[in-house]
Structure 1
Amino acid sequence: MSFLRKHSFKIAVLALCAAMGIYLLYMYGPKKAEPLPLLQAAPAFEMNDIDGKPVSLESTNGKVRIVYFYFANCPDVCPPTTFMLGEAQDILREQGTLGDKVELISITFDPERDTPDAIRQFAERTSVDTDGWHFLRGEEEATIQLARDFEVGVIKVEKENTFAHFNVITLVDQNGQIREWINGNDEELTPEYIVQQINKLL
């Protein structure tokens, strides 16, 4: 009893320090990643890749998918966003999930000009490869509607033969559910963030 009275102040300080440590660990320590919400079912599609092979939402089920709508003649957002996705592709390859667990799918709005050769040249310009990455082509009107069904706004500007569109990266889980729309125009967006969000689904 005399020991407790003699050292009561020290004990109180130690208890306070322990409580503060627990609080700081709770507030700022490592946390379990919050799961991504279920937003909506991804629209079904089937198109050919640049090698003429059919690829569909169903055929890629069981993998996390990054879906991106673009066109190769895009004068602004598509090339840098595709380049960033290529950097994410490199990280996925390094961590061993590219292809087996994660695939990228890019779908062109402009199949008339985006021939397989034109798409290969676009991929080369943006420093990406087709390892674990499907570049798909379909009918223009159907693709525009598909993009809208993915909540990616797009309008064809007939006079200039171009497309105005939202720059959105869509994360689709293994079961075909959309889990996140990522703003490709966000100046703070990094390939590491994209991979971080993908890893929440693995």
Structure 2
Amino acid sequence: MKKDIAAGIGIVVFGIILLFFTTNGFTAFTMEQQRVQDLQAQPPEFPDVEVVDQTGESYNFREFENKHVLMTFIYTSCAAACPEMSTNMKHVYELTEGKYFEDDLVFLSISFDTKRDTVEVLGRYAEYFNADAESWKMLRVPDDKELEKLLSVYGVTVIPEGDADYQHNTSFYILNPEGRLIEVLDYKDPETAAEILEKYLREQEEK
């Protein structure tokens, strides 16, 4: 009987040890959580990538240094997650104090369907969501290799489905002014996203 108890305890202890190491110290219980942790552990980086906004203006992604960034990856012909994600991003925008958009914050919606999402298409999409070209930018990356680089930096997977659809990550990404990815948030909970974003903005303001 004692041997059975000892054996049982040994199995439990072994299981706990195994769980500790396979979940990065009990902190990553899913592949997605581990992916996010790996992204957040990367050195800060604003990728050296040329982007074009909904007005046709071209500049380097590094222009967003020294600001917090709330970012999503979309394609405008998406009929499922992207419209909801953009609608909820607009809700976060409306919940965020306007003063932060002057110097401390910018919203980015980045299209990975550059064949269809021309400047004109992004302009219409921006109008639909009342996104101006200063505080909320709709971006495309004209160069395919630079687009791949940008997606890779933020761990975004894009898988074509047929001629016009894609499977892709759907989240709110928050970058700090140094370029470090500090949060990957559920796009279906804009109220929480707004609270977390404002927390970082207030902390930056107090420094």
Structure 2: gaps (5+ residues) = 1-36, 202-207
Aligned mate of 2:102, from 92, 99, 124 = 99
Matched, 1:181 2:184: yes
Aligned mate of 2:150, from 137, 146, 149 = 146
Q: What residue is the counterpart of 2:112 in the other structure? A: 109
Cα distance change of structure 1 residues 58 and 135 upon mapping to structure 2, 3 Å threshold: same
Instruction: Report if aligned partners of 1:57, 1:176 keep a CA contact under 8 Å in 2.
Output: no
Q: What residue is the counterpart of 2:194 in the other structure? A: 195
Aligned mate of 2:63, from 59, 81, 88 = 59
**Alpha-carbon distance, 1:114 to partner:** 0.9
Q: What residue is the counterpart of 1:25 in the other structure? A: none
Aligned mate of 2:173, from 145, 167, 170 = 170
Q: What residue is the counterpart of 1:124 in the other structure? A: 127
User: One-letter code of the match for 2:182?
Assistant: R
**Alpha-carbon distance, 1:147 to partner:** 1.6
Instruction: Report if aligned partners of 1:144, 1:154 keep a CA contact under 8 Å in 2.
Output: no
Distance 2:59 2:200 in 1: 22
| SS, match of residue 197 in structure 1 | helix
Structure 1: gaps (5+ residues) = 1-36
Matched, 1:74 2:82: no
Q: Give the alignment's Cα RMSD to 1 decimal.
A: 2.2
User: One-letter code of the match for 2:123?
Assistant: R
Q: What residue is the counterpart of 2:32 in the other structure? A: none
Q: What's the CA shift string for 1:92-122, capped at 9, x where partnerless? A: 2x44212321101111111121112211222
**Identity of matched residues, %:** 21
Greater Cα radius of gyration, structure 1 or 2: 1
Matched, 1:89 2:88: no
User: One-letter code of the match for 2:78?
Assistant: C
Q: What's the CA shift string for 1:159-183, capped at 9, x where partnerless? A: 3322110102110001111101113
Count of matched residue pairs: 160
**Alpha-carbon distance, 1:128 to partner:** 3.6
Q: What's the CA shift string for 1:131-180, capped at 9, x where partnerless? A: 401211113454244223211221122x3322110102110001111101
User: One-letter code of the match for 1:58?
Assistant: R
Q: What residue is the counterpart of 1:46 in the other structure? A: 50
Q: What residue is the counterpart of 1:161 in the other structure? A: 164
Cα distance change of structure 1 residues 127 and 51 upon mapping to structure 2, 3 Å threshold: closer
